[in-house]
Structure 1
Amino acid sequence: MMPILSCIVHEHNIWLVTGAGLLCCIGSWVTARLFCRTLDTSGLQKHGWQFLTALTGAVSIWCTHFIAMLGFNAGVPVSFSPVLTIASLLIAVIGSTAGFVLAGSRRTGSMPALGGAIVGLSIAGMHYTGMMAYRVQGIMAWDMRYVLVSIALASAFSAVALDIATRPGRHACNFMAVILALAIISLHFTGMTALRIAPAQIEGSFANLEALHALALAIIAVALVIVAAGMTSYLIDDSTRMENLERLHRMAMSDTLTGLPNRASFNDRLDLEIELARGRRGKFALVGIDLNRFKVINDLRGHTTGDEVLRILARRFKGLLREGEFVARTGGDEFSALYRMNDEGSISEFLGRLERALSKCIQLDGFEIPSDASLGVALWPDDASNKEALINNADLAMYRAKADPVQKVRFYEPAMDEVLRARRSLAADLRDALARDQLSVHYQVQASIATGQIHGYEALLRWNHPKLGPIPPTEFIPLAEENGLILPIGEWVLRTACREATLWSPSYKIAVNVSAVQFMHVDLVQLVKSTLAETGLAPERLELELTESTIFTDRERALHMLHQIKELGVSVALDDFGTGYSSLDTLRSFPFDRIKIDRSFCDSGEGSPQTFAIIRAVIALGKAFGIPVLAEGIETDDQLSRLTSEGCDEGQGYLLGRPAPLRQIVETGQLKLIHHERKIIANESGADLQTAFLNSSSNGDTHSTD
Structure 2
Amino acid sequence: MMTVLGCIVYRHDLWLVAVAAMLCIAGSWVAARLFHRAATTSGLQRIGWHFLTALAAGAAIWCTHFVAMLGFEASVPVGFDPVLTIVSLLIAVLGSTVGFVIAGSRLARGTAAVGGAIVGLAIVAMHYTGMMAYRVQGIVSWDRPYLVASVILAVGFAAAALHIAMHRNGRADNLMASLLAAAILSLHFTGMAAFRVQPLLIDASFVNPQAFQALALAVAGMALLIVGAGLASYLIDGSLRAESIERLRKMAMNDSLTGLPNRVNFNGRLDQEIDQACHAGRKLALVGIDLNRFKEINDLRGHHAGDEVLRIVARRISGVLRDGEFIARVGGDEFAALHRMADPGNLAGFLARLEEALFKPVRVDDYEVIPGASFGVAIYPDDAADKATLINNADLAMYRAKSDLWRTACFYEPSMDETVRARRNLAADLREALAHHQLSIHYQVQTSVSTGQILGYEALLRWNHPQRGCITPTEFIPLAEENGLILQMGEWVLRSACATAASWEPPYKVAVNLSAVQLAHADLPLLVRQVLEETGLPPHRLELELTETTIFADKERSLHMLRQIKALGVSISLDDFGTGYSSLDTLRSFAFDKIKIDRSFISEAASNPQTAAIIRAILALGKSLGVAVLAEGIETSDQLQMLNLEGCDEGQGFLLGRPAPLSEILDSGQITLKGRSDGPGTTRKVDFGTMGRAAV
TM-score normalised to structure 2 length: 0.89
- 5 Å-filtered alignment, 1:379-418, equals 379-418=379-418
Summarize the Cα distance change of 1:359–1:128 in structure 2 as closer, same or farther, 3 Å threshold.
same
Residue 675 of structure 1 contacts residue 696 of structure 1 at CA under 8 Å; is this kept in 2?
Answer: no
Residue in 1 that maps onto 2:536: 536
**Cα deviation, residue 360, structure 1:** 1.4
Q: What letter corresponds to residue 305 of structure 1 in structure 2?
A: A
Summarize the Cα distance change of 1:581–1:205 in structure 2 as closer, same or farther, 3 Å threshold.
closer
Matched, 1:702 2:689: no
- 5 Å-filtered alignment, 1:641-680, equals 641-676=641-676
Query: What SS does the aligned partner of 2:379 have?
Result: strand
Q: What letter corresponds to residue 684 of structure 2 in structure 1?
A: D
Residue in 1 that maps onto 2:554: 554
Matched, 1:298 2:307: no
Residue in 2 that maps onto 1:129: 129
Matched, 1:79 2:78: yes
Distance in 2 (CA, whole Å) between partners of 1:72 and 1:236 is: 38
Residue in 2 that maps onto 1:179: 179
Query: What SS does the aligned partner of 1:582 have?
Result: coil
Summarize the Cα distance change of 1:177–1:413 in structure 2 as closer, same or farther, 3 Å threshold.
farther
- 5 Å-filtered alignment, 1:144-159, equals 144-159=144-159
Residue 634 of structure 2 contacts residue 651 of structure 2 at CA under 8 Å; is this kept in 1?
Answer: yes
Residue in 1 that maps onto 2:345: 345
- 5 Å-filtered alignment, 1:90-109, equals 90-109=90-109
Spell out, residue by residue over 1:262-289, the C-alpha distance to the aligned partner (whole angstroms, 9 max, x if none). Answer: 4444444444444544554554433332
- 5 Å-filtered alignment, 1:278-677, equals 278=278, 280-676=280-676
Query: What SS does the aligned partner of 1:442 have?
Result: strand
Residue 441 of structure 1 contacts residue 460 of structure 1 at CA under 8 Å; is this kept in 2?
Answer: yes
Matched, 1:165 2:148: no
**Cα deviation, residue 203, structure 1:** 10
**Cα deviation, residue 500, structure 1:** 1.8
**Please, which moves more after superposition, 196-205 or 267-276?**
196-205
Query: What SS does the aligned partner of 2:545 have?
Result: strand
Residue in 2 that maps onto 1:88: 88
**Cα deviation, residue 358, structure 1:** 1.5
Residue in 2 that maps onto 1:692: none
Residue in 1 that maps onto 2:692: none
Summarize the Cα distance change of 1:82–1:414 in structure 2 as closer, same or farther, 3 Å threshold.
farther
Distance in 2 (CA, whole Å) between partners of 1:665 and 1:697 is: 10
**Cα deviation, residue 368, structure 1:** 2.2
**Cα deviation, residue 31, structure 1:** 0.9
Distance in 1 (CA, whole Å) between partners of 2:681 and 2:359 is: 67
**Cα deviation, residue 549, structure 1:** 1.9
Residue 401 of structure 1 contacts residue 408 of structure 1 at CA under 8 Å; is this kept in 2?
Answer: yes
RMSD: 3.2
Distance in 2 (CA, whole Å) between partners of 1:176 and 1:417 is: 63
Residue in 2 that maps onto 1:189: 189
Summarize the Cα distance change of 1:23–1:271 in structure 2 as closer, same or farther, 3 Å threshold.
farther
Summarize the Cα distance change of 1:119–1:382 in structure 2 as closer, same or farther, 3 Å threshold.
farther
Q: What letter corresponds to residue 292 of structure 2 in structure 1?
A: N
Spell out, residue by residue over 1:318-346, the C-alpha distance to the aligned partner (whole angstroms, 9 max, x if none). Answer: 43333443333333323333334432222
Spell out, residue by residue over 1:488-528, the C-alpha distance to the aligned partner (whole angstroms, 9 max, x if none). Answer: 11010011112222333333322111112101204332222
Spell out, residue by residue over 1:227-251, the C-alpha distance to the aligned partner (whole angstroms, 9 max, x if none). Answer: 1122122222332333344344444
Spell out, residue by residue over 1:129-166, the C-alpha distance to the aligned partner (whole angstroms, 9 max, x if none). Answer: 33344455665544433332322222122122223323
**Cα deviation, residue 477, structure 1:** 0.4
Residue 696 of structure 1 contacts residue 702 of structure 1 at CA under 8 Å; is this kept in 2?
Answer: no
Summarize the Cα distance change of 1:387–1:618 in structure 2 as closer, same or farther, 3 Å threshold.
same
Spell out, residue by residue over 1:147-204, the C-alpha distance to the aligned partner (whole angstroms, 9 max, x if none). Answer: 3232222212212222332344454333321221222222223333444566778996
Query: What SS does the aligned partner of 2:375 have?
Result: strand
Residue 669 of structure 2 contacts residue 679 of structure 2 at CA under 8 Å; is this kept in 1?
Answer: no
**Cα deviation, residue 653, structure 1:** 2.6
Query: What SS does the aligned partner of 1:259 have?
Result: coil
Query: What SS does the aligned partner of 1:434 have?
Result: helix
Query: What SS does the aligned partner of 2:108 have?
Result: coil
- 5 Å-filtered alignment, 1:674-689, equals 674-676=674-676
Q: What letter corresponds to residue 157 of structure 1 in structure 2?
A: F
Residue 77 of structure 2 contacts residue 205 of structure 2 at CA under 8 Å; is this kept in 1?
Answer: no
Identity value in percent:
63
**Please, which moves more after superposition, 404-413 or 276-285?**
276-285
Summarize the Cα distance change of 1:423–1:64 in structure 2 as closer, same or farther, 3 Å threshold.
same
Spell out, residue by residue over 1:382-438, the C-alpha distance to the aligned partner (whole angstroms, 9 max, x if none). Answer: 444444443333333222222121212223333333333332333233223222121
**Please, which moves more after superposition, 634-643 or 615-624?**
634-643
Residue 574 of structure 2 contacts residue 596 of structure 2 at CA under 8 Å; is this kept in 1?
Answer: yes
**Structure 1 unaligned spans of 5+:** 678-694
**Cα deviation, residue 639, structure 1:** 3.8
Residue in 2 that maps onto 1:686: none
Residue in 2 that maps onto 1:691: none
Query: What SS does the aligned partner of 1:109 have?
Result: coil
**Please, which moves more after superposition, 225-234 or 207-216?**
207-216
Summarize the Cα distance change of 1:176–1:384 in structure 2 as closer, same or farther, 3 Å threshold.
farther
Residue 23 of structure 2 contacts residue 64 of structure 2 at CA under 8 Å; is this kept in 1?
Answer: yes
Summarize the Cα distance change of 1:310–1:126 in structure 2 as closer, same or farther, 3 Å threshold.
same
Residue 78 of structure 1 contacts residue 134 of structure 1 at CA under 8 Å; is this kept in 2?
Answer: no
Residue in 2 that maps onto 1:116: 116
Q: What letter corresponds to residue 439 of structure 2 in structure 1?
A: L
Query: What SS does the aligned partner of 1:190 have?
Result: helix
**Cα deviation, residue 482, structure 1:** 2.0
Summarize the Cα distance change of 1:469–1:190 in structure 2 as closer, same or farther, 3 Å threshold.
farther
**Cα deviation, residue 546, structure 1:** 0.9
Query: What SS does the aligned partner of 1:655 have?
Result: coil
Summarize the Cα distance change of 1:89–1:275 in structure 2 as closer, same or farther, 3 Å threshold.
farther
Distance in 2 (CA, whole Å) between partners of 1:696 and 1:414 is: 59
Distance in 1 (CA, whole Å) between partners of 2:553 and 2:634 is: 30
Distance in 2 (CA, whole Å) between partners of 1:156 and 1:430 is: 80
- 5 Å-filtered alignment, 1:121-270, equals 121-135=121-135, 140-195=140-195, 208-270=208-270
Q: What letter corresponds to residue 49 of structure 1 in structure 2?
A: W
Distance in 1 (CA, whole Å) between partners of 2:144 and 2:357 is: 85
Summarize the Cα distance change of 1:537–1:86 in structure 2 as closer, same or farther, 3 Å threshold.
closer
Residue in 2 that maps onto 1:681: none
Summarize the Cα distance change of 1:169–1:148 in structure 2 as closer, same or farther, 3 Å threshold.
same
Summarize the Cα distance change of 1:115–1:486 in structure 2 as closer, same or farther, 3 Å threshold.
same
Residue 675 of structure 1 contacts residue 700 of structure 1 at CA under 8 Å; is this kept in 2?
Answer: no
Residue 675 of structure 1 contacts residue 697 of structure 1 at CA under 8 Å; is this kept in 2?
Answer: no
Residue 673 of structure 1 contacts residue 702 of structure 1 at CA under 8 Å; is this kept in 2?
Answer: no
**Cα deviation, residue 363, structure 1:** 2.3
Summarize the Cα distance change of 1:272–1:642 in structure 2 as closer, same or farther, 3 Å threshold.
same
Residue in 2 that maps onto 1:20: 20
